Amino acid sequence: MTDETLASLAPAPDAIPTPEPVFTPEPEPVLTPAPEPTPAPDPVLEPAPASPPVEVISVDELLERLQGEADESQETQPPEETLPADPGDTVAVEIGPDTLATLDGLSDINQELVLISDQLADIQLHQTRPVLTTSFEDYTVMEGLLLLLLLLAFAAACAKILKGGLSWLKS
pLDDT of residue 154: 97
CB proximity list for 138: less than 8 A, separation 6 or greater: 129
φ and ψ of 53, to 5 deg = -65, 150
Cβ-contact 90, 84 below 8 angstroms:
yes
Measured CA to CA in angstroms, residue 157 lies from 52, 148, 154 at distances of 92, 14, 5
pLDDT for position 152:
97
Helix runs in the chain, H state only? 3-9, 59-76, 97-127, 141-165
**pLDDT (0 to 100) of residue 62:** 82
* Torsion 109-112-118-119 (CA) sign: negative
pTM: 0.25
Lowest mean pLDDT among 13-22, 35-44, 155-164: 13-22
pLDDT of residue 7: 58
Over residues 18-68, the pLDDT tens digits come to 667 777 777 777 777 777 777 777 666 676 667 777 777 888 888 888 888
pLDDT (tens digit per residue) in 108-144: 888 888 899 999 888 887 776 666 777 878 778 888 8
Per-residue pLDDT, 98: 83
Do residues 91 and 84 touch, judged by C-beta distance below 8 A?
yes
